[in-house]
Amino acid sequence: MAAKKIAGAIAIPLLIVVAVVAATALFIVDEREKALVLRLGRVVDVQEEPGLNFKLPLVDNVVKYDGRILGLPTSPLEVTPLDDRRLVVDAFARWRITDPVRFRQAVGTAGVSGAQMRLEPIVRNAIREVLGTVPSTQVLSDDRTTLMNQIRDEARSNSGGLGVEIIDVRLTRTDLPEQNLNATYARMRAEREREAADEIARGGEAAQRVRAAADRTVVELTSEAQRRAEIVRGEADAQRNAIYAGAYGRDPEFFAFTRSLTSYERALRGDNSSIVLQPDSEFFTYLSNDGSANANPAPTPVPPTEPTAAADAPTPTEDDEELVTPEVTDREGNRLGESAGVRLTPVPESLVTPPQETEVLLPDATIGEGEAAADPATAEPEAAEPEAAPAEGQTN
């Protein structure tokens, strides 16, 4: 019994030792990894297939590396293309371990981080070398696939001794340096401001032409309207003078009396401070004598509708005449308002042609037989009255 107890006590620790040794002799390789079996620092086996594998316990050591595609971001670097225009380039690379033994020999115990430190200058040098052979316009273009493939091939050939493969290199950002960027923005801003100034100048010139044409049209239309107004005003003045002459021909004394009363009304107002006249001045003649003794009315009064031939003429109306558009041209032969798109207002046909000079006919005062002619001295009009010749009486 004692022997059995001793054997059982020894067997249990032996089983534990055997289990521990067996556990240390086994290792598992994941499908995302690649493993190296090192014996005293020397590679004795490479396991790239996933599964359970064996090694010598307490002698062999297993080192595992990531077998997936890894990323390598690069810091921004400044390159000088073929046209000596500096650019700032950002890039990243994709790589993976293809030969674990060579990779171990190249980077030692640093692993993936050591490999990235070795690969970054390789990728940067490849970028500078490739982009230095092309102009900046090609680098800044949208289609840069050819350039990126050249950078990839150059970096792949330079990194072959590391046991890795550069799968792809991409340019993420290509821009100008800060100082060049500010200068470029300033140049672009100045160009846009120059274009804006040109557009404003052209618009101002066009506006000035339109404004000048409108002002010219206004002057032409105003001048033409003033000309026609003067013609109509002159015709009206002629008719007024004929009426005055007809009234004067009826009775010169009564005409002088009414004009004197009008002069009194205008002169004797409250705003006049004083009037200095001689006592026997002719200005107040009709205040002392109404002049009835000198009155010499015509025995047959002239009808009010027959003062002159111009007054007898019937005034045409729009209902009696057809409206026509005046054909008025300027000194250059162009129609008024045509350049500005303005059309003259249709007027009666009698107003299209300027009226001719109207001859004022004064009626003769008929005097009965046996009566003396009117005294010419009493028929003189006042200086303030319109110019109209008095009608002279007929003698027997």
What is the signed CA dihedral for 14, 18, 20, 25, rounded to 10 degrees? 160
Per-domain residue ranges of the chain: 2-66, 70-175, 191-267+276-379
With a CB cutoff of 8 Å and minimum separation 6, the contacts of 246 are: 302, 306, 307, 308, 311, 362, 363
Q: Which pLDDT belongs to residue 297?
A: 61
CATH architecture of 70-175: 2-Layer Sandwich (3.30)
Task: Check: CB of residue 16 under 8 Å from CB of residue 40.
Answer: no
Q: Which pLDDT belongs to residue 310?
A: 41
- C-alpha–C-alpha distance, residues 151 and 127, integer Å: 6
Q: State pTM to two decimals.
A: 0.43
DSSP-assigned states of every residue in 322-339:
-EE----B-TTSPBTTTT
- C-alpha–C-alpha distance, residues 47 and 45, integer Å: 7
* Strand residues in 334-385 grouped as ranges (E): 347-348
Using CA atoms, how far residue 244 sits from 47, 235, 262, 263, 302, in Å, is 138, 14, 15, 17, 13
Q: Which pLDDT belongs to residue 311?
A: 42
Task: Check: CB of residue 87 under 8 Å from CB of residue 78.
Answer: yes
Using CA atoms, how far residue 120 sits from 105, 109, 114, 169, in Å, is 19, 18, 10, 11
- C-alpha–C-alpha distance, residues 345 and 341, integer Å: 13
Q: Which pLDDT belongs to residue 95?
A: 92
- C-alpha–C-alpha distance, residues 156 and 105, integer Å: 18
Tokens in use for 85?
A: 């225009």
Q: Which pLDDT belongs to residue 348?
A: 60
**Residue ranges of the chain with per-residue pLDDT less than 70:** 1-5, 7-9, 17-19, 21-23, 180-181, 270-273, 287-332, 336-396
